[in-house]
Amino acid sequence: MAESTEIRRPMRWHIAVFLAPAVLVYTAVMIVPLFGTLQLSLFSAEGQTRVFAGLDNFRTLFFDPRWAASFWNALWNNTWFFIIHMLVQNPIGVVLAALLSSPRLHFSAFYRTAIFIPTILSFVIVGFAWKLILSPLWGVAPNLLDLVGLKSLFTPWLGKEEYALTTLGLISVWQFVGIPMMLIYAALLSIPDEVIEAAECDGITGMAQFWKIKLPLILPSIGIISILTFVGNFNAFDLIYSAQGALAGPNFSTDILGTFLYRTFFGFQLQIGDPYMGSTIASMMFFIILAGVCLYLFAVQTRLRRYQF
Amino acid sequence: MSTATSSLPRTIAAHAVLLAYTAIALFPVVVIVVNSFKSRNAIFRSPLSPPTTETFDLIGYTTVLRQGDFFLYFQNSFIVTVMSLFLVLLFGAMASFALSEYRFRGNSLMGLYLALGIMIPIRLGTVAILQLMVASGLVNTLTALILVYTAQGLPLAVFILSEFMKQVSDDLKNAGRIDGLSEYRIFFRLVLPLVRPAMATVAVFTMIPIWNDLWFPLILAPSEATKTVTLGAQLFIGQYVTNWNAVLAALSLAILPVLILYLIFSRQLIRGITSGAVK
């Protein structure tokens, strides 16, 4: 013990100076409000005063007929939104990345740049652009379907309860397919040539090579993409808000947790904003995302075998 | 490499699929931009044809520039994005230098603490953030947005930059120390210039979500004087729904700056992703 105090250096202030700005801003603007929101969800307003309500808000959210229907509706819609991304966005991303990474493909930089363009656009642009294109007033979508003789299939997808959410999910897939594409592409590029050559020596080429050699090697990247998609989807708001408004029409069929939180917190039309119920919904989103991240970190990531080259 | 993997039919098929998807990715953007230059009748009569001399019309753009205060919105977005970017890069680089350079008690705990924000979105704290901004009188100021975006960008910046800081050679830093440079000078003079490529990558990753964000401008700074382009375009389009020329022009105006920035930085961005920094 005596030795360790002897070699102990004087207080190194520069470490604190280097860390302080980032830690202060991050703590004050992100961590404290995050816990503040969790805390607020345990209170409710009685007249002008704030009273401790325990878990009453959560009980209201789950069981009170005025809230429960909207909450479960938003949660289910959000889950469906996530399922669409997992089933459509990530497979398309993998296919595009696999094609892009094929050796000596011409114009691959062009394809990469072009396919990534929707990802950099804001939700407002994407939401409105697709709203216009799918609008029955403007003939773009029906005209295009007419070219392939499928005009009869056209309906105002965004205006029909049964199609609206799926349509928005696919629009979001259109926008974000660039991210899985890029990450998988990077993972595929990092597979060393020796591994591929060894596979070729053993006569494994083409599709078999992809399924047996490359896919197992990029599984960790697919895991990361899945969790990023999960966090992004359960935090989504902008696209629905720009395309369908805060009421997430038609008849709340596109309502997800983000829009539900916004309406509850700020109020809309006849409903008055309620910061306490808003915090409760935000807390539920927090727990859902936390559960997803923990599941990923402890159950998925530890089982995926990582290969070091 | 052997030639077994690239036969001609396979290459053609790959190009066909990629071209088809490129068309899907670009089609909506092209339709919007092309139609924004056409007269109202032409927009509806033949939405898929490019503007001709008869149908060329800039009425949409003149409406947008006359009605919406887009220059102000651009200026606001620009100030918010540049200031947040500057703070994220400066604070992020300082913190990641401390984490990667010095051994001290709580080092890895601090790294974990700062990395929390990569997975937990800052949006979930909105209720309390709004209360904080109301209490400190920052509602409807650009400062509120800059603070929020700085906090939002820091976790990923620290995470990526730490990886790169670790690669800077120790010999160089120790040589600096022997020459009597202070730790601050070592950081600003020796280390920062060496991690500039990583900073550029972080800059692109940080910039795009800030420029495109709708949630915080809507909640923290919706006043006329502090609207960002994204919020301004959203409200403008909401008001002018029936004026298709104006809506298409507003959308094109919102697309262009991001598109230009992206085309300038795309190589940096793609190199950043593919270098494995975000794995």
ipTM value: 0.85
The structural domains of chain A, with segments of one domain joined by +, span 2-38, 73-300
The mean pLDDT value for A282-300 works out to: 90
Residues B143 and B207 in one domain: yes
Residues B160 and B103 in one domain: yes
- Amino acid identity, residue A195? V
Choose among A33, A122, A193: nearest Cβ to B128: A33
**pLDDT for residue B84:** 95
Q: Chain B residue with minimal CA distance to A207?
A: B5
Q: Is residue B262 part of a domain?
A: no
Residues B77 and B33 in one domain: no
Phi-psi region of B108 (alpha: psi -120 to 50; beta: other; left: phi over 0): alpha
Give pLDDT tens digits for B21-68. Answer: 999 999 888 888 888 888 888 888 777 777 887 788 888 888 888 876
Choose among B28, B124, B258: nearest Cβ to A120: B258
Q: Which of A132, A144, A195 to mutate to test the interface with B (most CBs of B within 10 A)?
A: A132
Query: If you ran DSSP here, which 8-state letter would residue B38 be given?
Result: B
Whole-number percent of chain B with pLDDT over 90:
32
Is B117 within 8 Å of A30 when comparing Cβ atoms? yes
User: Over 50: is that where the pLDDT of B13 sits?
Assistant: yes
**pLDDT for residue B277:** 42
E strand or H helix at B126: helix B126-135
Q: Chain A residue with minimal CA distance to B112?
A: A23
Please tell me the distance in Å from B211's CA to the nearest CA on chain A.
8
Q: Is the CB of residue B190 less than 8 Å from the CB of residue B176?
A: yes
Query: Beta strands A43-46 and A49-52: pairing type?
Result: antiparallel
Lookup: tokens for A15: 């470490």
Give pLDDT tens digits for B142-151. Answer: 999 999 999 9
Is B102 within 8 Å of A12 when comparing Cβ atoms? yes
**pLDDT for residue B278:** 42
Is A140 within 8 Å of B92 when comparing Cβ atoms? no
Please report which confidence band the pLDDT of residue A6 belongs to, taking 50, 70 and 90 as the band edges.
Answer: very low
The mean pLDDT value for B161-165 works out to: 87
What residues of chain A lie within 8 A of the CB of B87, using their CB? 25
Residues 6 or more apart whose Cβ sits within 8 Å of residue A105: A99, B11, B14, B15
User: Over 90: is that where the pLDDT of A27 sits?
Assistant: yes
Q: Is residue B148 part of a domain?
A: yes
Query: The CATH number of the domain where B137 resides is what?
Result: 1.10.3720.10
Q: Which of A9, A12, A100, A125 to mutate to test the interface with B (most CBs of B within 10 A)?
A: A125
User: Over 80: is that where the pLDDT of A215 sits?
Assistant: yes
**pLDDT for residue A305:** 64
Is B279 within 8 Å of A205 when comparing Cβ atoms? no
Cis peptide before B50 (omega within 30 of 0): no
SS3 string, chain A, reads CHHHHHHCCCCCHHHHHHHHHHHHHHHHHHHHHHHHHHHHCCEEEECCEEEECCCHHHHHHHHCHHHHHHHHHHHHHHHHHHHHHHHHHHHHHHHHHHHHCCCCCCCHHHHHHHHHHHHHCCHHHHHHHHHHHHCCCCCHHHHHHHHCCCHHHCCCHHHCHHHHHHHHHHHHHHHHCHHHHHHHHHHHHCCCHHHHHHHHHCCCCHHHHHHHHHHHHHHHHHHHHHHHHHHHHCCCCHHHHHHHCCCCCCCCCCCCHHHHHHHHHHEECCEECCHHHHHHHHHHHHHHHHHHHHHHHHHHCCCCCCCCC
Q: Which of B11, B18, B161 to mutate to test the interface with A (most CBs of A within 10 A)?
A: B18
User: Over 70: is that where the pLDDT of B273 sits?
Assistant: no
Please list, residue by residue across B240-256, b when 16 or more beta carbons sit within 10 angstroms of its beta carbon and e when fewer do: beebbbbbbbbbbbbbe
What residues of chain A lie within 8 A of the CB of B207, using their CB? none
Please give the interface size between A and B, counted as residue pairs whose CB atoms are below 8 Å apart: 277
Residues B52 and B145 in one domain: no
Q: Please indicate whether residue B264 or residue B228 has the higher confidence score (pLDDT).
A: B228
Q: Chain A residue with minimal CA distance to B105?
A: A15
Q: Is residue B268 part of a domain?
A: no
What gap in Å lies between CA A219 and CA A230, rounded to an integer?
Answer: 16
Residues B87 and B122 in one domain: yes
Residues B47 and B160 in one domain: no
Q: Which of A42, A50, A122 to mutate to test the interface with B (most CBs of B within 10 A)?
A: A122
What residues of chain B lie within 8 A of the CB of A102, using their CB? 5-6, 10-11, 14
Please report which confidence band the pLDDT of residue A87 belongs to, taking 50, 70 and 90 as the band edges.
Answer: very high
Write the CA distances from B12 to A41, B7, B247, integer angstroms: 58, 9, 39
Q: Please indicate whether residue A309 or residue B37 has the higher confidence score (pLDDT).
A: B37
Q: Which domain holds residue B54?
A: 8-62
The mean pLDDT value for A174-198 works out to: 87
Query: If you ran DSSP here, which 8-state letter would residue B189 be given?
Result: I
What Rg value do the Cα atoms of chain A yield, rounded? 25
Please tell me the distance in Å from B273's CA to the nearest CA on chain A.
7
Residues B145 and B57 in one domain: no
Is A36 within 8 Å of B183 when comparing Cβ atoms? no
Please report which confidence band the pLDDT of residue B11 belongs to, taking 50, 70 and 90 as the band edges.
Answer: confident
What residues of chain A lie within 8 A of the CB of B233, using their CB? 122, 124-125
Please tell me the distance in Å from B259's CA to the nearest CA on chain A.
7
Please tell me the distance in Å from B57's CA to the nearest CA on chain A.
18
Choose among A102, A174, A286: nearest Cβ to B5: A102
Place of tokens 């070091």: A308
DSSP-based three-state secondary structure for B241: coil
Is A121 within 8 Å of B244 when comparing Cβ atoms? no
Give the DSSP per-residue string, B218-229: HHH--SGGG--H
Q: Is residue B278 part of a domain?
A: no
Query: If you ran DSSP here, which 8-state letter would residue B47 be given?
Result: T
Q: Is B131 exposed, middle or buried (0-12, 13-18, 19+ CB in 10 A)?
A: middle
Among the candidates B45, B62, B79, a domain finishes at B62
Residues B147 and B174 in one domain: yes
What residues of chain B lie within 8 A of the CB of A220, using their CB? 279
User: How many Cβ atoms from other residues are within 10 Å of residue A63's Cβ?
Assistant: 10
User: pTM for the whole thing?
Assistant: 0.86
Give pLDDT tens digits for A140-168. Answer: 787 788 777 777 777 788 888 888 999 99
Q: Which of A4, A24, A27, A29 to mutate to test the interface with B (most CBs of B within 10 A)?
A: A29
Please tell me the distance in Å from B107's CA to the nearest CA on chain A.
10
Residues B89 and B190 in one domain: yes
Please tell me the distance in Å from A37's CA to the nearest CA on chain B.
5
Number of separate domains in chain B: 2
Residues B47 and B74 in one domain: no
Q: Is the CB of residue B237 less than 8 Å from the CB of residue B255?
A: no
What gap in Å lies between CA B65 and CA B50, rounded to an integer?
Answer: 23
What residues of chain A lie within 8 A of the CB of B25, using their CB? 114-115, 117-118, 174, 177
Q: Is A97 exposed, middle or buried (0-12, 13-18, 19+ CB in 10 A)?
A: buried
Is B114 within 8 Å of A129 when comparing Cβ atoms? no
**pLDDT for residue B279:** 40
Tell the CATH topology of A73-300. MetI-like fold (1.10.3720)
Residues B73 and B56 in one domain: no
Residues B75 and B209 in one domain: yes
Q: Is the CB of residue A192 less than 8 Å from the CB of residue A309?
A: yes
Please tell me the distance in Å from B44's CA to the nearest CA on chain A.
6
Is B119 within 8 Å of A112 when comparing Cβ atoms? no
Lookup: tokens for B174: 């120790």
